[in-house]
Each structure stands twice: as structure tokens, then as C-alpha cells.
Amino acid sequence: MNIAITAGASGIGLAMTEAFLENGDAVAICDIDQQAIERFKSKHPETLALCASVNNEAEIAQFITQTQLHLGCIDVLCANAGTGGPASAIEDIELKEWKDCISVNLDGAFLSAKHTIPGMKRQQAGLILFTSSTAGLYGYPYRSPYACAKWAIIGLTKTL
């Protein structure tokens, strides 16, 4: 299978990437961390690995386009990128902190799906895996933007 993974060079994304590669799947990843991308490329030079921010539409569109060209198609999208955001009482969170957390966690998932789904429709097949959190089910004290974004990802999943 051909798999695209956002935030695939570290953390949960790297674990996904390694598991898919061990399974013999073709993988392409993006990550915002250039150093993590370089470390990954040194171990997996045959794998497409690009630096991209999921909440930058031009960058995520370029990643999806390059992945489709490199792999031929995308069978599975793992929209995994996320950030914990501020850990504060809501009255202490700045609007910019709120928007940044929502943007990476939710806008990133939306943009990844938006640019992948047309290819999946053309091939009449595909699977999208969004990484959410128990915070999206139960909420977390002092993590309101994160919990809201993860809750919304569950809603996005149900609407697709």
C-alpha cells in the first residue's frame, strides 16, 4: 500500500512510519522538524520525506502532490500532525496560542484530507486515519484548545 503520513519523522508518526515500512508498504512523510526529516532520510534514503507545515495549505498541497508523483497514488493518509498547545487556565490563554493549537491540530487534518481526497475519489478507494486523543472524548483540564481541536477531529472523521 502507498501511505502518506504527516508528522511522520518523530513521535507517534515515526512509529507509524516504521511499522508501515517494516510491513513492506511504500511511505512518504512530512514533518515540520527539518532535523527530524534529515535523521529520517539518513536511515531511509529511498523514502520521500519533506519538510512541511500541515497548517500551511501550499506546503501540504505540495507534499500531497509530491507523494502522488512519487508513489503513484495514496491509499492511506495518516493525518497525524498535532501539538499540545498551551497548558493554562482558559483565562490565561492568549488568542494567538488558541489559534495556533487549533490550526495545527484541526486545520492540518482538514487540509491533509482536502488535498488527498480528490486522488482517492479518482481511484475509487482510500482510507484516512486522523490522530485524535482521549482529550477529544473527555476533555482535559488546562488543555482547552487541544481538547476542542481533538473533539473536532472526531466530528470531521464522522462527517467524511
**How many domains is the chain partitioned into structurally?**
1
Cα–Cα distance measured from residue 42 to residue 78, given in angstroms and rounded to the nearest whole number: 22
Q: What is the pLDDT of residues 112-151, one digit of tens each?
A: 999 999 999 999 999 999 999 999 899 889 999 999 999 9
Which whole number is the average pLDDT over 28-54?
98
Question: Given this model, what pLDDT does residue 140 score?
Answer: 87
Which of 18-22, 137-141, 143-147, 153-157 shows the lowest per-residue confidence on average (mean pLDDT)? 137-141
Q: Is 41 exposed, middle or buried (0-12, 13-18, 19+ CB in 10 A)?
A: middle
- We report the CATH number of the domain holding residue 115 as 3.40.50.720
Assess whether 138 carries a catalytic annotation: no
Nearest one of 15, 24, 139 to 78, comparing CA atoms: 15
Catalytic residue among 138, 140, 142, 146: 146
Provide the domain limits for residue 45: 2-159
